[in-house]
Structure 1
């Protein structure tokens, strides 16, 4: 009996212990994971059970280091031109161990990362989250216990080296420098000469022609100045291979990639792989050759460079020139250990060192990459992040469906016929009217997948890659689905992005057009054009809006323009090249409904389908200003606009004095102005004002506020007020003594 009781007790005590152990094991490994929140991706960390342990609230995250530290960042952006960033080091409990820092921080490399804040210098941080070096210089990287750093003076950057205590061992004197490898680093004392140095900075003999291999000193490329052809030299200067190549790369384990002129023109070249004697390992009969590690090469028949081997099928060759596979693999990556990521036309998988698909590892539907994170497989395929175990069992997959509080769900149906075409089609569920739901889904399929086979065939024939996804938002009965896509002609400098909104009425199934928002015969296009042109003119007057100096001043609104009906404004969007250079991307303008309410069809079904907020102005932020700070400054400007008028009309400076920074230029100017206007019998009244833009100066305690004012002025000789319009830029400064923002400067804009 005692044995039975003891056995039961052992079992009882072992059950919770087993549970705790399992939970601890799940949480020992944390993986970056992402969800969409309010249209933006937010990152956190999940355990091996697929549950978030650190909530998704960051804009970027790194992997956890071996010591359990990760770098995370948050973006603060309500601006048109930039964002502010706050970066931290956190542990696996999600607690901050170091930071914040106002800069992007790269992932750990060789156990270290660098924090560089321009005004504050650099910090070298180890993967324990501890600061190892604080330096006024810009720290670059760590190799073999030596830190590469740089110093910039008058736009001239020079590189040097320091030890792990921050002591300079080689002063910054090189125009270019690499990390140390096997005690040797390649540097450039001038822009046209490279040498190799040891850890003390001593120059290695004939180092301008040395390349360090693992076991031997391979010959390195050099260019013959007379023929502009490349050959190879040994470390003593002896020519190993005579100059005859249009391009030449360094040897890797006895093989080097070169380019051979195969046509009449100099740019008509094909790559080849040669041995140390200059003999062909792979002849110049293919379009691309790239090294993928493990002594293997990816070879493709079409395209060139990255665009070629990523977007055309590759065959695997070994370093003896033997072809190990047919031309099967798209998007072929470098080996990481024993495996490399590759794609078929519709799937992603691992290949092994034999050049064949790894039979014992999972195959993922969709095009992208797979990689090992420890023993876990991370997959990024068709814009979805997921994690798997080696046996193919799913740990977690990113959920990109939309589930709204109304009970409406929008899921994604994928169309992936081949490597070149990927389109997502929305499908809604949760409508109480099943007939309307079916009607809407048929309409969405017609819109998003109309002529899908022809689209795929065209992309195949034109050798273009098309990737299209969507976002969705619901406001009352209006479901806005925004298609976002990119078409890339393979080999082009860049592709062409596109976007289009589909405002869908969930009750009627109607997809609205821009004209449906306005009254008939309202000349809405002319009105919208005038408003946009006025915004551009104002933005160009604000020096902080350098971006707008490249925007066409006289765009016109057509029915084909992209548009979004937000809660408080109509957003009109021009595609790249329509009003600005490609680099400007999409150029958008927000028009508050209060500015166009007189031409809106307020009884129409479009306007009635969503909840709205009608206001006449919108603040354009030049840099991030916290919502509470912005609200405080808005109240101060409003008070100032009223109190300065009251002070002028009563000749009482004290009425406005509390709003002005004491003894500032504006303080003294307005004090004199009030006295002068009263002396001349001038009265004023505030007709209206609008805060057009706001942003921090270099000093975080000062904010620029751009205000449009309409002031009525009555002279002593007149009975009526004359209307005057002004554009003033006020500097609002934080007064630490009163803990409030006060106006300190004024200038025209």
Structure 2
């Protein structure tokens, strides 16, 4: 509809969008791409209800102007969101300690800029966030609800709130997820689900997305479907999902194998690998952790389970992912290591190391590997079995940038058959 001709472009709001022209100026355009007005300021953004946020200088404060470029509110904010319903959320902080407030079209504060966060929930309601730790605001907030006149309707009792729809909003605290009305009153006749997440009306059903799992309720709040927690392998063996959430910021789904001869040692190992450990219930943790698992391979007596996790220190640019694989012999309860696949005293470390080295040199898809960073593999190198191959992988940053994730190298068994112990328990577990 509009040719590729802008350096940047916002979403359309009320039939208009802000774009950055190739000459560096900003412009307000209509749905046909016609320029309504152009502006020479270094930053113009967040159009709403005829007003635009702007900066006079690149490092300066934000103010608001009308569509014709006339200054309406003097630049004085470090952040300026669009006007919605005659109100706009602004930030006056000069550092990482936020000071959010709510202003009217004259720039007067309706809610003073004293808060760690402020969210427009729609339907004339706002979520006001007070820092859990004022010295470490990146730990997050507890939220209260206020109306558009700045009157507080609740205390600071919510961890998160979703937008209002038809007078109801989804909210959660440290214990559960539920619906509230516009006064903040909990709707007792609707679902109340243990855990953190959202509830949403989905046609004739209520959809729950709580602690990274889906549930569905009927309109009366009766549970009618949830995700399966059992992965059957055959008539004898299955993998059962267990949930561990000792703290609002620590959640692990961990596997337990059912039907094996020696379940205690195997299942205790799976719990340990899944980071099921003692965590204080009510303390504010320094990081958020989420763990999960998946059955990635099952053949004959060999079960391979992938255990994943993500550890995010609050305030960090990003967290660190975790990936581990267990190779379980369902008949004996043995957990195999890489060395168990090969003949005793075989040079499997050098053989695999050389194959990976050749793949890095000859395969374009591995061009992301840091130059001269690959030095071979370790005897206990992380690995996993898949159909017809062994896969060797490295941790983020080990030989490649973070964005590369876990660099993984697939080696067909055919390339290793000379050193594989074909009479060994590991090989015979799935061959």
> Secondary structure at the residue paired with 1:428?
strand
Q: CA RMSD in A?
A: 3.3
Q: 1:448 to 1:275 in 2, by over 3 A?
A: same
- Alpha-carbon offset, residue 398 of structure 1: 2.0
**Among residues 368, 388, 393, which one is paired with 1:550 in the alignment?**
368
> Secondary structure at the residue paired with 2:410?
strand
Partner residue in 2 for 1:283: 112
Q: 1:491 to 1:332 in 2, by over 3 A?
A: farther
The structure that is helix-richer by fraction is 1
Partner residue in 1 for 2:197: 368
Residues 502 and 511, structure 1, Cα contact 8 Å, conserved in 2: yes
Q: How far apart are the structure 2 equivalents of 1:317 and 1:341?
A: 16
Do structure 1's residue 150 and structure 2's residue 7 form an aligned pair? no
- CA deviation string 1:201-228 (max 9, x = no partner): 584899x999653xxx5x5433234982
- Alpha-carbon offset, residue 378 of structure 1: 0.8
- Alpha-carbon offset, residue 413 of structure 1: 0.7
Mapping for residues 310-325 of structure 1, pairs under 5 Å: 312-325=141-154
- Alpha-carbon offset, residue 248 of structure 1: 1.7
> Secondary structure at the residue paired with 2:350?
helix
Residues 261 and 270, structure 1, Cα contact 8 Å, conserved in 2: yes
Q: 1:226 to 1:573 in 2, by over 3 A?
A: closer
Q: How far apart are the structure 1 equivalents of 2:323 and 2:212?
A: 17
Q: How far apart are the structure 2 equivalents of 1:362 and 1:518?
A: 54
Q: How far apart are the structure 2 equivalents of 1:459 and 1:409?
A: 36
Residues 310 and 332, structure 1, Cα contact 8 Å, conserved in 2: no
- Alpha-carbon offset, residue 340 of structure 1: 2.0
Do structure 1's residue 517 and structure 2's residue 361 form an aligned pair? no
> Secondary structure at the residue paired with 1:320?
coil
Partner residue in 2 for 1:585: 405
Partner residue in 2 for 1:6: none
Q: 1:223 to 1:548 in 2, by over 3 A?
A: same
Partner residue in 1 for 2:238: 409
Q: 1:346 to 1:226 in 2, by over 3 A?
A: closer
> Secondary structure at the residue paired with 1:575?
coil
- Alpha-carbon offset, residue 571 of structure 1: 0.9
Q: How far apart are the structure 1 equivalents of 2:419 and 2:46?
A: 74
- CA deviation string 1:559-603 (max 9, x = no partner): 453211234221111122112111111211112223223333333
- Alpha-carbon offset, residue 336 of structure 1: 2.6
- Alpha-carbon offset, residue 499 of structure 1: 0.8
Q: How far apart are the structure 1 equivalents of 2:264 and 2:57?
A: 72
Mapping for residues 717-732 of structure 1, pairs under 5 Å: none
Q: How far apart are the structure 2 equivalents of 1:355 and 1:511?
A: 52
Partner residue in 2 for 1:344: 173
Structure 2, unaligned runs of 5 or more: none
> Secondary structure at the residue paired with 2:157?
coil
Partner residue in 1 for 2:289: 466
> Secondary structure at the residue paired with 1:405?
coil
Q: 1:605 to 1:221 in 2, by over 3 A?
A: same
Do structure 1's residue 221 and structure 2's residue 221 form an aligned pair? no
Do structure 1's residue 562 and structure 2's residue 395 form an aligned pair? no
Residues 209 and 235, structure 1, Cα contact 8 Å, conserved in 2: no
Q: 1:515 to 1:297 in 2, by over 3 A?
A: same
Residues 62 and 76, structure 2, Cα contact 8 Å, conserved in 1: yes
Partner residue in 2 for 1:87: none
TM-score (norm 2): 0.85
- CA deviation string 1:25-75 (max 9, x = no partner): xxxxxxxxxxxxxxxxxxxxxxxxxxxxxxxxxxxxxxxxxxxxxxxxxxx
- Alpha-carbon offset, residue 457 of structure 1: 6.8
Q: 1:210 to 1:586 in 2, by over 3 A?
A: closer
Partner residue in 1 for 2:220: 391
Partner residue in 2 for 1:380: 209
**Among residues 261, 278, 298, which one is paired with 1:453 in the alignment?**
278
> Secondary structure at the residue paired with 1:150?
coil
Residues 273 and 307, structure 2, Cα contact 8 Å, conserved in 1: no
Q: How far apart are the structure 2 equivalents of 1:232 and 1:283?
A: 18
Q: How far apart are the structure 1 equivalents of 2:33 and 2:311?
A: 52
- Alpha-carbon offset, residue 534 of structure 1: 1.2
Partner residue in 2 for 1:297: 126
Partner residue in 2 for 1:501: 325
Partner residue in 1 for 2:426: 606
Residues 310 and 330, structure 1, Cα contact 8 Å, conserved in 2: no
> Secondary structure at the residue paired with 2:430?
coil
Partner residue in 2 for 1:192: 25
Q: 1:179 to 1:446 in 2, by over 3 A?
A: closer
Partner residue in 1 for 2:86: 254
Q: How far apart are the structure 2 equivalents of 1:260 and 1:318?
A: 21
- CA deviation string 1:3-43 (max 9, x = no partner): xxxxxxxxxxxxxxxxxxxxxxxxxxxxxxxxxxxxxxxxx
Partner residue in 2 for 1:333: 162
> Secondary structure at the residue paired with 2:131?
coil
Q: How far apart are the structure 1 equivalents of 2:153 and 2:404?
A: 45
Q: 1:584 to 1:521 in 2, by over 3 A?
A: same
Q: 1:257 to 1:403 in 2, by over 3 A?
A: same
Aligned residues: 419
- Alpha-carbon offset, residue 313 of structure 1: 3.0
Q: 1:515 to 1:328 in 2, by over 3 A?
A: farther
> Secondary structure at the residue paired with 2:278?
helix
Residues 468 and 486, structure 1, Cα contact 8 Å, conserved in 2: yes
- Alpha-carbon offset, residue 501 of structure 1: 0.6
Q: How far apart are the structure 2 equivalents of 1:429 and 1:211?
A: 58
Q: 1:279 to 1:325 in 2, by over 3 A?
A: same
- Greater C-alpha Rg: 1
Residues 416 and 423, structure 1, Cα contact 8 Å, conserved in 2: yes
Structure 1, unaligned runs of 5 or more: 1-148, 159-173, 540-544, 612-749
Q: 1:260 to 1:576 in 2, by over 3 A?
A: same
- Alpha-carbon offset, residue 428 of structure 1: 2.4
